Amino acid sequence: MIAMIDLIAHVLLLLLMPPLLLGVIVKTKAAFAGRVGAPLLQPYYDLIKLFQKGTVLSRTTTWVFLAGPTVTLFAVMVAGLLVPLSGRPAPLRFAGDFILFAYLLALGRFFTALAALDTGSSFEGMGASREVTFACLAEPALFLGLLALARLSGGLSLTALLGGQVGGAWIAAAPTMVLVVGGLFIILLVENSRIPFDDPNTHLELTMIHEVMVLDHGGPALGAVLYGAAVKLFVLSAVVARLMVPVASERPVIHWPVFVVSMLLVAVLIGVVESVMARLRLLHVPNLLLGACLLTGLGFILLLGSSS
Amino acid sequence: MTEVEPAHSLAPLLAIWLPIAGGILISASGVPGLFLSRRSAGGEGVSAALHILGATAALAGAVLSLGSGSPAVLDIAWGLPLGSLRFELDGLSAVFLPPLILVPALGTVYGLRYWRQSEHPTTGRKLRAFYGLLAGSLVLLTMARDGVLFLFCWEGMALSAFFLVTTDDQDREAREAGWVYFAATHVGTLALFGIFSIVHAMTGSFGFDPLPRDAAPIGAGSAVFFLGLIAFGLKSGLMPLHVWLPGAHAAAPSHVSAVLSGVVLKTGIYGLARVTWMFPHPPMFWGAVLLALGMVSGIVGVMFAIAQHDLKRLLAYHSIENIGIIVMGLGLAMLGRAMARPDWIALGLGGAILHVWNHSFFKSLLFFSAGAVVHRTHTREIDRMGGLAHSMPVTAIMFLVGAVAICGLPPLNGFVSELMIYLGLLRTLHPEGTGPLAGAAFAVPVLAIIGALAVACFVKVFGAVFLGAPRRDHAGEVREAPAALLVPMAVLAALCIGIGALPAGVVPFLDRAVETWETGPAPRPQSLAQLAPLGWVTAIAVAVWGGSALCMIGICRLVRPHRVARIGTWDCGYAAPSARAQYSASSFAQALVAVFRRVVRPREHSPRVHRLFPRRASYRSHIHDVVLDEWIRPAIERISRLAMKLRALQTGRVQIYVLYILLAAIALVLSNVPVIDLLRRMVTR
């Protein structure tokens, strides 16, 4: 029974909650700027509107242009089923599933970047180039962080890495956990093209990363792109939220509300970071990503030292 | 029941004779064509038919052998003074055979159209003769269990590959690539001589057999291992030894490149697996060396791949990367043998061998589709292509399948083998008191970087070649590839999809190979079916295919045709957009090349702007192969310069030569005089 409730709650939250995070981030930034800001539910209105619109397609494009958003959306959805959102076992779990998690995100990136190149626009080529470049540097940081968690938890599935044992990991190896959470938060920002890596609100094509890749998408395709991006933000935020708020309980009435609140906290944190920081120069982005690798790598090495 | 009995006793005989007969038939497949005239197209059909017949026989034998539990042996006395005619088909040999047979057979179909006799009257017959010889010696090579026989097959393969690389011998680039290959492969052969001599000194025979611990002292064993690393590393293109590979793959005709990259490299992996199979008690550092070399090869290979401008050279560097991944798996298996960990062995070796299969299939697929592109556009320069998905839609889909597979992305086959190697590496994390071995876990992020770089590279290639607008005018007149080119691609694509969706189908073969390889004291390895989440892989593959298709249908429903407007790509309102203003492959890769400039060392020739109104300017960048062009070529040049100084001795005058003879005679006489003795007597009197 509880397993059934968990499954339903997991799927419903995964489908419905992602745009809310965008709304919270925007609201937080508005609060910092002293504005009222768009309504909290504005991203939902935008999506509904986009899915009803007509489409403008470039003459240069092929089927790849529409495959980009759809494959990406589906890949991040499946990735979301691997994460134990509330600390209870995820719907899909097996030893080594975090590799699948990372590779599903990579599959999404592959097709998003291809859809960008399909337009033949140099702006979108630029965005795709930046996206894959930064991903190459973010990938080792992500894997080193996950390795540290695997070493701590003794398991190889995301359910083991992020499930009920996170609290014990904080007690056993707090320094490592701080480093890993820091590194993964940077990954969260870069993978979702947030400040300081990319400014989702910028107006200049030359400086964007993710937004410029989808310049030519419109209507339902753009809706799928935005929704997919929101789901990706949700999934990666859930990983960070699980590590920061390691509550484990057997009762759905406790752990699901705790999860929702912790997700909102992460969204507020992203909003705060976006409000107090400026976007980095693109040339400096690799340095910050190497910093993330060092953080998570150091966390992992600390563990190796402590065990022997 | 009585009817079944003879079939049972026949099976081992068939299992060994079918591959041998098939191998010989394939070797001879190009010979009849040599007797026909240049103009006649008859030789093509005959050679393809013979090749396919031989391949079918050999494949049947390999499957028979993989099905039965025991190795099939053929040992015949040989009239030659050295060695014996000994073939053996055990699990390790048999598991390499299917890709080794299948890819060349598909290549011969591809070649029917790609290298027609009517279009290449001077080279067609030669190409087919050596192609058959290469494919046949590959089959015999994996079964040869006697050192001398192995060397015969090895040289048959190496020499025919040389003539295939230099098929277009009017082309200076092809000739040079051929010579570099020739030199490299013979350094490898020299190392093989060393191996067999040492083995002969230890055991008294030239055979490949597992060596008991007391027969193989650590020093001699390590000598064999490192000589094997040189010989087979050179053949498989392991990183510092890869020098021949990019040039040869780029210069050869595309179906030959597919065979070289997909299959010939794998004989090096087979050799490494066979040499390590001989040592049941390896020291731990062998495994560590393999793992480290694999990591270097993987990362540096893909870094160089990203920087390439030539489509086939780029694919060649990806072979170096994938060989690195395979060797990482092999290194893990060696560590497992040294530590008596059957699960590391099963996942490491099983993953490596499955990656051998997978790489054969997706890399040949990529070379075939790249060949179709080169065939139609008459260039290998990525930056001169573009927009081919409009004119060659099927080829584009085939290339895309290969690209997703080589990046190791789900739901295709590359993901399955990489997942196995990942799982094996992750298992080094947990055991208590791992000590230095926990360092093996650092191979996990390395594999992740390799994967991310491969994604970057194939986004670049697919985007620049097939997407966007054509960068040249007549690229718009390009037509779809003919069926003879598309059918082999489709078969390979189906294999990539099939193994990705149903890995459980090939796992019994891998288990047999792992069992055969594991000669050490470790407990019997578990089946990969228990170690790897194969059911989940199938489920995820079905889900990703089905889900993406459903999402695609959904979005196509939403994008209603009557509400679609077709316009030009957004260009910021620029008045005169041109296809040449697109982001090129070089500009796409520039950011990554800049990050890795210390390793890749791009050479750039950029214009200096020094007046108010700058003139026409051009920018060029190119990538040297650091090992070949910065280490080996200068070293060889220095040696030959030193050698030139010796020419002062050769004046060409007869008198001087007579003087040399006189001096030599005096030296000989003096060498008989006990000089030291004389001196001592003079001093002591």
Over residues B660-673, mean pLDDT: 88
Q: What is the pLDDT along chain A (308 residues), one digit of tens a residue?
A: 888 889 999 999 999 999 999 999 999 999 999 999 899 999 999 999 999 888 888 888 999 999 999 999 999 999 999 999 988 889 999 988 999 999 999 999 999 999 999 998 888 999 999 999 999 999 999 999 999 999 888 888 999 889 888 888 888 888 999 999 999 999 999 999 888 888 877 777 777 888 888 888 888 999 999 999 999 999 999 999 999 998 888 888 888 999 999 999 999 999 999 999 888 888 888 899 999 999 999 998 888 865 54
Residues in A closer than 8 angstroms to B386, CB to CB, are 120
CB-based contacts of A150, cutoff 8 Å, min separation 6 = A98, A156, A160, A161, B426, B429
Local structure of B50: helix, strand or coil: helix
The one-character DSSP state at B441 is G
Instruction: Select from B406, B416, B429 the residue whose CB has the most chain A CBs within 10 Å, as the one to mutate to test that interface.
Output: B429
Pairing between β-strand B564-567 and β-strand A55-58 as defined by DSSP bridges? parallel
Residues B356 and B266: beta-carbon distance below 8 Å: yes
How far apart are the C-alpha atoms of A89 and A83, rounded to whole Å? 8
User: Between B125 and B358, where is the model more confident?
Assistant: B358
B302: its two tokens: 């893909």
A196: preceding bond cis by omega (within 30 degrees): yes
Subunit contact B468:A117, Cβ cutoff 8 A: yes
Residue B2: per-residue pLDDT: 37
Residues B429 and A151: beta-carbon distance below 8 Å: yes
Regarding whether B634 and B505 lie in a shared domain, the answer is no
Taking alpha carbons only, the member of A166, A128, A143 closest to residue A243 is A166
CA dihedral A275, A281, A287, A292 (to 10 degrees): 20
How far apart are the C-alpha atoms of A9 and B524, rounded to whole Å? 44
- Measured between CA atoms, the residue of chain B closest to residue A123 is B583
pLDDT band at residue B267 using 50, 70 and 90 as cut-offs: very high
Looking at the complex, report in whole angstroms how far the Cα of residue A188 sits from the nearest Cα belonging to chain B. 17
How far apart are the C-alpha atoms of A115 and A68, rounded to whole Å? 5
* CB burial string B124-161: b at 16+ within 10 A, e below: bbbbbbbbbbbbbbbbbbbbbbbbbbbbbbbbbbbbbb
Residue B530: per-residue pLDDT: 86
Instruction: Select from B583, B595, B596 the residue whose CB has the most chain A CBs within 10 Å, as the one to mutate to test that interface.
Output: B583
Has residue B476 been placed in a domain?
A: yes
How far apart are the C-alpha atoms of B550 and B573, rounded to whole Å? 36
Residues A47 and A223: beta-carbon distance below 8 Å: yes
Regarding whether B636 and B674 lie in a shared domain, the answer is no
Residues B286 and B579: beta-carbon distance below 8 Å: no
B549: its two tokens: 């298709």
- Side chain identity at residue B643, one-letter code: A
- Measured between CA atoms, the residue of chain B closest to residue A282 is B591
Residue of A136, A221, A224 lying closest to B453 (CB–CB): A136
Instruction: Inform me whether the C-beta atom of residue B444 falls under 8 Å from chain A C-beta atoms.
Output: yes
Instruction: Inform me whether the C-beta atom of residue B542 falls under 8 Å from chain A C-beta atoms.
Output: no
- Side chain identity at residue A154, one-letter code: G
What is the tens place of the pLDDT at every residue in B583-622? 888 889 988 888 888 888 888 887 777 778 777 778 788 8
How far apart are the C-alpha atoms of B203 and B463, rounded to whole Å? 56
Has residue B396 been placed in a domain?
A: yes
Looking at the complex, report in whole angstroms how far the Cα of residue B437 sits from the nearest Cα belonging to chain A. 10
Domain tally, chain A: 1
Residue of B448, B550, B587 lying closest to A139 (CB–CB): B448
What is the tens place of the pLDDT at every residue in B421-469? 999 999 888 755 555 666 788 899 999 999 999 999 999 999 999 998 8
What is the crossing angle of helices B311-338 and B443-466, to 10°?
A: 160
Instruction: Inform me whether the C-beta atom of residue A3 falls under 8 Å from chain B C-beta atoms.
Output: no
Burial of B603 (0-12, 13-18, 19+ CB in 10 A): exposed
Taking alpha carbons only, the member of B41, B319, B248, B264 closest to residue B131 is B264
Residue B427: per-residue pLDDT: 87
Residues B269 and B231: beta-carbon distance below 8 Å: no
Residue B6 pLDDT greater than 50, yes or no: no
- Measure CA of the first residue to CA of the last residue in chain B; give whole Å: 98
B411: preceding bond cis by omega (within 30 degrees): yes
Q: Residue B655 sits in which domain range?
A: 651-685
What is the tens place of the pLDDT at every residue in B374-412? 998 888 999 888 889 999 999 999 999 999 999 999 899
Subunit contact B588:A128, Cβ cutoff 8 A: yes
CB atoms within 10 A of CB A94: 18
Regarding whether B414 and B367 lie in a shared domain, the answer is yes
Residues B118 and B41: beta-carbon distance below 8 Å: yes
Residue B1 pLDDT greater than 50, yes or no: no
Subunit contact A304:B438, Cβ cutoff 8 A: yes
CA distances from B641 to B180, B421, B569, B644, B648 (A): 19, 47, 58, 5, 12
- Measure CA of the first residue to CA of the last residue in chain A; give whole Å: 43
Regarding whether B345 and B422 lie in a shared domain, the answer is yes
Phi and psi at residue B74, to the nearest 5°: -135, 120
Residues B354 and B420: beta-carbon distance below 8 Å: yes
Can you spell out the DSSP letters for chain A?
-HHHHHHHHHHHHHHHSHHHHHHHHHHHHHHHHT---S-TTHHHHHHHHHHHS-EEEETT--HHHHHHHHHHHHHHHHHHHHS-TTSSPPSS--TTHHHHHHHHHHHHHHHHHHHHHTTT-HHHHHHHHHHHHHHHHHHHHHHHHHHHHHHHHS--SHHHHHSTTHHHHHHH-HHHHHHHHHHHHHHHHHHTT-TTT--TT---GGG-SHHHHTTT--HHHHHHHHHHHHHHHHHHHHHHHHHHS----S-HHHHHHHHHHHHHHHHHHHHHHHHH-PPPPGGGHHHHHHHHHHHHHHHHHHHHHHH-
Residue B139: per-residue pLDDT: 93
Is the alpha carbon torsion for B508, B514, B517, B523 positive or negative? negative
B residues 213-242 lying closer than 8 A (beta carbon) to A: none
Residue B228 pLDDT greater than 90, yes or no: yes
Phi and psi at residue B381, to the nearest 5°: -75, 115
Subunit contact A142:B569, Cβ cutoff 8 A: no
CB-based contacts of B663, cutoff 8 Å, min separation 6 = none
Residue B475 pLDDT greater than 60, yes or no: no
CA dihedral B574, A196, A109, B548 (to 10 degrees): -100
Can you spell out the DSSP letters for A205-243?
GGG-SHHHHTTT--HHHHHHHHHHHHHHHHHHHHHHHHH
Local structure of B193: helix, strand or coil: helix
Residues B325 and B447: beta-carbon distance below 8 Å: yes
Regarding whether B463 and B347 lie in a shared domain, the answer is yes
CB-based contacts of B196, cutoff 8 Å, min separation 6 = B147, B148, B151, B206
Regarding whether B655 and B553 lie in a shared domain, the answer is no
List, in sequence order, every beta strand (DSSP E) within B203-322: none
Instruction: Report, in angstroms and rounded to the nearest whole number, the Rg of chain A calculated over CA atoms.
Output: 19
Phi and psi at residue A228, to the nearest 5°: -60, -40
Residue B27: per-residue pLDDT: 92
Local structure of B633: helix, strand or coil: helix
Residues in B closer than 8 angstroms to A51, CB to CB, are 558
- Give the range among A71-75, B278-282, B313-317, B497-501 with minimum mean pLDDT: B278-282
How far apart are the C-alpha atoms of B62 and B512, rounded to whole Å? 12
Residue count of chain A: 308
Looking at the DSSP bridge assignments, the partners of residue A58 are B567
Residue A240: per-residue pLDDT: 95
Residue count of chain B: 685
How far apart are the C-alpha atoms of B335 and B286, rounded to whole Å? 8
Looking at the complex, report in whole angstroms how far the Cα of residue A64 sits from the nearest Cα belonging to chain B. 9
Taking alpha carbons only, the member of A239, A247, A237 closest to residue A270 is A237
Local structure of B619: helix, strand or coil: coil
Regarding whether B540 and B505 lie in a shared domain, the answer is yes
Over residues B272-294, mean pLDDT: 91
Residue B121 pLDDT greater than 90, yes or no: no
pLDDT band at residue B560 using 50, 70 and 90 as cut-offs: confident
A residues 68-127 lying closer than 8 A (beta carbon) to B: 69-71, 73-75, 77-78, 92, 94-97, 99-100, 102-104, 106-107, 109-110, 113-114, 116-126
Domain tally, chain B: 3
Regarding whether B548 and B636 lie in a shared domain, the answer is no
Over residues B562-582, mean pLDDT: 78
The label of the residue with tokens 């998690």 reads A101
Q: Residue A249 sits in which domain range?
A: 2-307
Has residue B659 been placed in a domain?
A: yes
How far apart are the C-alpha atoms of B55 and B74, rounded to whole Å? 20
Regarding whether B399 and B346 lie in a shared domain, the answer is yes
Regarding whether B633 and B547 lie in a shared domain, the answer is no
What is the tens place of the pLDDT at every residue in A86-118? 888 899 999 889 999 999 999 999 999 999 999
How far apart are the C-alpha atoms of B133 and A46, rounded to whole Å? 65
